[in-house]
Structure 1
Amino acid sequence: MAAGALTILVAAPAQAQTDDGLWYYRDTGVAEAHATTTGEGITVAVIDSPINPDVPDLSDADLTIHEPSFCDDDGDGIPEPATSTITDAQHGTSMVALIAGDGDGVDGQPGVQGLAPAARVLHYAWESGDIGTCAGLTPSGTAAAIDQAVADGAHILNLAYGFNGATAEDLAALREAIRAGVIVVTPAGKGTGPVSEWPALVNGAVTVTGVTRSQELVAGFALHGPGLDVAAPAEDVRVLSGEDWRTYKTVSGTSLATAWTSGALALAWSAHPEATGNQMIQSLLRNTVSGEGELNRLDDYWGYGIVSVRRMLETDPTTYPDVNPLIVDAPDAQPPASALLPAPEPTTEPTPTADPTPDPGPPTTAEPVDGPPLLPVALGLGVLTLTGTVAAVLLRRRAHRDTAPGHDR
C-alpha cells in the first residue's frame, strides 16, 4: 500500500524536500487544488483552546470568534476570554491556521498555509491552559459550544481534542449535530493502543490517525480500532510558535491530522456545493489514496486509507448515497444508531373523524344531502299510503260481511 500511495500522494518536486514543515501543502496536491477551489462557501467550526487572531497567518482569514469562551477555568462564575496572546492560544491558533491560514508569515518567513483559505471559520474556546481543570468545572462546556456551532451554520465540526468519557450533554450535542448532517472530525487520540478517547468513539464521527511524509504511521501514534476511519499528515507540520508568536516550528500529533482532514473536506465540498454532508463522508472514505470508489476498509490501523484531496475533487459526491456510512448499529454504540438516523416520514393514512351530527331539519337549499335518493323514497311512501288505504277498505268490507245476517262468524 505504501508504495502505491507514494506515487499518488507525493508529487516529489525539489522544494518538497525542504524541512520547513509545509510538505502537508506541497506534497499532497493541495497547492494544485487551490488553482480551482479554496473552500469558499463552506463553514468550519473549530472548538479548541483560545486563539490569537492577530497573527499574520490569519490576517486574511474569514474568522468569527465567539466571545466569551465556554470555560470557567478559575471557577469564579465568569467565562474566560476566547482570545489570548500567551501560549494557551497555541493549539487553537494552529488548528485554525492549518484550516484557513493564508500563508503570510512573520517578518517575511513562510507562514502556515491553510487547506481551505477561503472557508468561513467559526472559533469557540472551551478550555484554557489546563484542559482537565476547565472540563471539570464546566462539563457541559463542549456541549454548549457544539450546540452553538450547529446553530451558527457549521458544515464541519473540528474537535481536535480527547478526554476519557463523555457526559450525557456531550453525547446529546454530538447526536444533534450528526442528525443535522454536520460532519464531525476528531483525532484518534495520542499514544499507542486501541482508540479509547472521546470524541473519537462517537458513532458517526470521522476519526483520523496520522501519517508521515513517507506514508507511514507516525511513531508513537499507532492507534487502532474498528472506529478508526482515515489517515492524514501529522508529523513535522509547520505551526507558529506561541512562545513569542514570531518564529515557526514543526510539531507532530493527530490533532494536526484532524485539522488537515477538516480543511480537505471543506476544499472538496466547495468544489461540489450541491453535495450533502453524508455524501462528502462517502467521498472521503471511497476516494482515499488506495481507494477505488468503493467503501473498502483496509484494517484497524489505516481505516479506509490516506485522505486524497485530488481524488475527492475529481469525483462527483452526489452519485453516492445520502447516508452516513460511519453510523454503526451496535448495542454499545454511542449515540445509538436509532438516535442518529433521520426521523421517519409522516404516514399518509387519513385521520379518522367524528360522525357528522344529524341535521335537525329539512335542507334549506337544493344541494344533495346524505341518505336515500328522494325519488325512490317518495315512491315508497306513496305505495305505503295506497296499501294502507286498500287495507282499510278491505277490513271495512270484511267487517260488514262478518256482521251481515245469516253469516257464520
Structure 2
Amino acid sequence: MVSRWSRVKAGCAFALACVLPCAWTPGAFAADDGRWPVANDVVAAAWKQGIDGSGVKVAVLDSQAVEDYPALKHASITYKLGRFHNVDDKTVECKVDGKPLTATIKSGEGGYYSSHGTDMLAWIVGDGSNYTSKWPGIMGAAPKADVLHITDGAVNAGPAVTPCDQKLAGDATSDSGADVKTAVDWDARILNRSQGGDLVSADYAGYVDALRHGVVMVGGRANDMNPGLDDLTGDPRSMETFPGVVMVNSVDESGNLASTSDVMDGNVAVLSYGMNVLGPVNPLSNVYNIAGNGGTSTAAAVLSSYLALAMQKWLDATGNQIIQSLIRNTKSGKGKPVIDPERKRGFGEVDLNALLTVGPTQYKDVNPILEYQMKAAAQYPDLKDWYTQDCKTNPDGVGTAADNVPCEAGLIGREYERQQAAWKKVEQCRSDGGSDCMQYSATNTADGSTNNTTTPNGQAKPEGDPSQSASSGMPVWLWGVIGAGVAAIAAGVIIALVVSRRRRTRARIPVSGVAYGSVRSYPNGPVPSRPYPGGSQGSGGQAPPAEPGAGTAT
C-alpha cells in the first residue's frame, strides 16, 4: 500500500536535465562544433549502410516539446500527454498557471523556442536544422527511428520542469509507472528518460513490465558531486537507479568524466557522451547553439540513439542481448563485463563500432545489469532482503519508515528469476538439438506464451526461416527421419499419378533538478546515505559478486 506521505514525497521528484550532442550531415560540419558524438566515421559508415534507426521504436519521457522545432520537422514523432494523478491514484488534469498542460507547444509560445524534452528528441532523431541557417542545429544518430514522446511536465526557462498547479502537495503529480506502461504497450524497444526522481511502490509494476518485455531503459545519474551507492545494487526508490536501468555518466571525446559528476556511484553502468556538445544558449533563444556541458541527460539520449542503430542492425536480438553486448564490448571491456573498481565508470565507455560489429545473439536473454544488481545486493546484510520480499508476508516492506523499501520490490527479484528460468529452457532446448529455441526466452514469453513468428523488432521472420517449420523441442535428427518418410510417400503418389494419368511501453513531475549540465539540488535532502560498507572494493569483508552473464550460451 502506498502511503499518503509516500505520494507526497514522490510528488517532489526532480529532473536531471542536460543538453546533448547533435548529429550531422557527413562532411557538412566540423567535428569540433559540438557534434563529435555523431560527426564520426562510425555513424557515417552506419548511415551509408542504411543503419539509421529505421523501424526501431523509442519512447522519450520528458517535458513539453516544441513541436515545430526545425530539427524535428522530418522526424517521425507521436506526442502524447502523460498520466497525472492525485494521492488517491485517481486520474486528474494537470494545469500550469491555471491552463491545462498540453503535450507540445509551438515555437515562441510563452517565449520558448526549445526545452529539455525538445533537445532530447533532437539528439535522437533531429536532422540538424536550426531557426536560422547561419547556425548549425542539433541532429540525432538515429534520425529514422519512430518516437513516442510522453509529456510529463511543462517547459521551464530554469533548470527544472514546471510542476502542475497544486493547492496541496500530491494534488496532481505525474504517474511514472503508468507512463512507462504506456511506452511498453506501444512496443517501445528503448525508453529514454533523461530525468531523475522518486518512485513509490505503485510505480514498480510499470517498470517491471518494461523489464519483462526487454525494453532497454536508459537514464542518467545526477550531475552533482554527491557520492552514490558503493556498488551496483540498484535502488527501486529512484527512477534512474531502478534495477535493470542503464544508468549513464557523462564523458567528453577523450573519455574524461564530466567535472559535474566525477564521483563514486556504484549504479553507473556505462559512460556516454555529454561533454563539449552542442546545445541551445537557453530555451528562450532562437538565435544559435553553443558547445558546452550537456550533462548526463545528453549522455543518455546519445546512448539511446546508438542503441537504436544496434537494434536495427541486429533484428533478431532482444533488448537484453543488446545490453549484454553494450556492457561487454565497451572500449575497455574486450568482450567481458569488467566493472570499474572505483565505481565511477561502470563497465566502461560505450563503443558504437563494437555494438554494430559484434553479434549480440550469442549472449543470453537476461538483463545483465539486473543480474549484477540482484547478485550484489544479496551480499549486503542491509540489502539482501530488498528483492526477495513478498507483500503477503511483510506488507510494510523493509527498512525504517524514513528509509523504507516497499514490499513490491520483490517483483523485481521474481522477474530476474523468471528471466533465468526462461534461459535454462532455451539452453535445454539447444542441448536437445531443437531449433528456434529462443521462443522460450524471457522476452519471447513476456506475455505468458511463446512467439516465434516475429523478431524482437516486431518484424515478421522470412518465410523460409526454418524456425517456423519445426517445433524447437524436437531433436533435429527426428525431423530428418520424418522428412524423409514424407518425401518417400510423396514420391510414391507422384509415380502412381504419372503411371495412371501423368500430376510476429508516475513520470513524477520533476520540480527541482539540473538543466544544461548544472548541479541538481535535492528538495528532500541529500542523496540517500550508503547503507552498506565498501561495496566490492574490499572493505567490509564482502566478496565481489559473480560476473553478470557468466556462462552464456552461444
Distance 1:132 1:186 in 2: 20
Q: In structure 1, what is the equivalent of residue 291 of structure 2?
A: 250
Q: Does 1:34 align with 2:47?
A: yes
Q: In structure 2, what is the equivalent of residue 189 of structure 1?
A: 222
Query: Greater CA deviation, 92-101 or 319-328?
Result: 319-328
Q: 2:131 aligns with which of 106, 114, 125?
A: 106
Q: Does 1:156 align with 2:190?
A: yes
Q: 1:180 aligns with which of 205, 208, 213?
A: 213
Distance 1:244-1:100 versus aligned 2 partners, 3 A rule: same
Q: Which structure carries more relative contact order (alpha carbon 8 Å, separation 6+)?
A: 2
Cα offsets for 1:127-164 (capped at 9, x unmatched): 1245473495434522221111111111111011012x
Cα offsets for 1:30-89 (capped at 9, x unmatched): 23322221011111100000001211101111111114775714497x851011244495
Asked if 1 retains the 8 angstrom alpha-carbon contact of 2:83 and 2:178, the reply is no
Q: Show the 5 A alignment for 1:118-267.
A: 118-128=144-154, 129=156, 131=161, 133-134=163-164, 136-163=170-197, 165-195=198-228, 198-240=238-280, 241-251=282-292, 252-267=294-309
Q: Percent identity?
A: 32
Distance 2:188 2:224 in 1: 30
Distance 2:117 2:224 in 1: 21
Distance 2:153 2:28 in 1: 41
Distance 1:340 1:171 in 2: 14
Bigger-Rg structure (1/2): 1
Asked if 2 retains the 8 angstrom alpha-carbon contact of 1:193 and 1:222, the reply is no
Q: 1:317 aligns with which of 360, 376, 392?
A: 360
Distance 2:241 2:176 in 1: 16
Displacement of 1:115 in angstroms is 1.3
Q: 1:96 aligns with which of 121, 131, 134?
A: 121
Distance 1:72-1:195 versus aligned 2 partners, 3 A rule: farther
Distance 1:60-1:132 versus aligned 2 partners, 3 A rule: closer
TM-score, normalized by length of structure 1? 0.74
Distance 2:331 2:362 in 1: 19
CA RMSD of aligned residues (A): 2.7
Q: Does 1:49 align with 2:89?
A: no
Give 5+ residue unaligned stretches, structure 2: 1-26, 85-92, 230-236, 378-383, 388-408, 426-554
User: Partner of 2:326: helix, strand, or coil?
Assistant: helix
Distance 1:230 1:298 in 2: 10
Distance 1:302 1:151 in 2: 33
Q: Does 1:282 align with 2:296?
A: no
Distance 2:31 2:48 in 1: 22
Q: Which amino acid aligns with 1:59?
A: K
Cα offsets for 1:14-40 (capped at 9, x unmatched): 97563x211121247323322221011
Distance 2:218 2:170 in 1: 23
Q: In structure 2, what is the equivalent of residue 72 of structure 1?
A: 94
Distance 2:162 2:65 in 1: 18
Q: In structure 2, what is the equivalent of residue 362 of structure 1?
A: none
Displacement of 1:336 in angstroms is 3.2
Distance 2:368 2:208 in 1: 15
Cα offsets for 1:231-259 (capped at 9, x unmatched): 01111221345213342233421000000
Displacement of 1:91 in angstroms is 0.1
Asked if 2 retains the 8 angstrom alpha-carbon contact of 1:186 and 1:206, the reply is yes
Asked if 2 retains the 8 angstrom alpha-carbon contact of 1:297 and 1:303, the reply is yes
Distance 1:236 1:243 in 2: 21
Distance 1:107-1:88 versus aligned 2 partners, 3 A rule: closer
Q: In structure 1, what is the equivalent of residue 516 of structure 2?
A: none
User: Partner of 2:132: helix, strand, or coil?
Assistant: helix
User: Partner of 1:231: helix, strand, or coil?
Assistant: strand
Q: Does 1:83 align with 2:104?
A: yes
Distance 1:185 1:68 in 2: 18
